[in-house]
Amino acid sequence: MEIKWLEDFVTLADTSSFSRAAEMRNVTQPAFSRRIKQLEGWIGATLISRATMPAELTQAGRNFLPVAQEAIRALYSVRETLRPSHEAGLIRFAALHTLTVTFFPRWLKALEKTGGAFSTSLIPDRGGIEANLDALVGDEADFFLTYAHPEVPFHLDRGKFASLTVAHDRLVPLVAPTVVVSGTAQPGRNLLDRAVEQPRLAVPYLSYGFNSFFGVALSRLHLRRPPFRRRTTHENTISAGLMNMAVTGAGICWLPESLARDEIDAGRLVPASSDEGWNLDLEIRLYRNAVSRNRKVDDLWRIARQLLDRKPA
């Protein structure tokens, strides 16, 4: 069994598309399909139902997915710990997956433009708030880059860990222009508003689960907003995977605007509500150990503060 088989499987679970997953993994689709078959052969069970479009996990696949995700995280964590000394100059970041795609590259470029080049390393998203914080607390990462919201508390000793709010984003409910609800195709725009007004209308819902940052934030939001019936059609802790499902018409999904901007501008996703109360304003925060132990880490922190001071009020 090879770790790339596990990564292939997790990518396929995120995208529900053999062709898109193969493209993301930089292999041909036939080669990608063979690797999934090899994993299934090693497991001894069929993980993907090939009779549906988009591709769906079988029950065995759903059971195996968290195991595969945890195995990947554990293996890469061990690799980070055991890397030889010549890589010790890398500044280590733990970060939520979405931020590594949308925010981190542009932000790092702005930092380097201000204060010189930095060599960095990203630790894979561990899929839960506490698990990601553990990377910082356990000194496996120099920084933790995360979304933050008042309703999702972080259990960090403020005397030991400092933070900067480096940017802002917004979580908004989005849906495809057309979505099937109770067997009938309906306009997606403002579907959430109609669900609030029509208690019997059960809308298809794309869920983050209950352990991820967005999962916790949305559970608090739903408690203080008007109730609506929903039927979970897909669950994924990674926003990009849920966005790909939303574009196919699989259901309503709350997504960061920074991630979904291209899909919104192209009309592939539309607002699920006209009520601004369903949006969540988010901070993007950078956390670090307050005790200075590394000059490069101190330099990046200093330049991050300078970059904020230069922004217009």
Quickly state the pLDDT bin for 86 (edges 50, 70, 90).
Answer: very low
Point out the domain boundary residue: 32, 50, 76.
76
Say whether pLDDT at 263 is over 90. yes
- Co-location of 15 and 68 in the same domain: yes
What is the percent of the chain where pLDDT is above 70? Answer: 94
Q: What is the rounded average pLDDT of the residues 213-234?
A: 92
Please enumerate in sequence order all residues whose Cβ is within 8 A of that of 16, keeping only pairs 6 or more positions apart, or say none. Answer: 54, 55, 56, 234, 244, 245, 248
Structural domain for 253, as ranges? 170-281
pLDDT digits (tens, 9 = 90+) for 283-305: 999 999 887 678 889 999 999 99
Q: Assess whether 268 and 254 both reside in one domain.
A: yes
Q: List alpha helices for the chain, DSSP H.
A: 3-15, 18-24, 29-43, 59-82, 97-102, 104-115, 129-137, 191-197, 213-224, 239-247, 257-265, 295-310
Instruction: Say whether pLDDT at 6 is over 50.
Output: yes
Read off the pTM: 0.71
**What's the pLDDT at 103?**
95
- Split into its structural domains, the chain has a count of 3
User: What confidence tens digit (pLDDT) does each residue in 132-166 have?
Assistant: 787 888 788 899 999 999 888 777 777 788 999 99
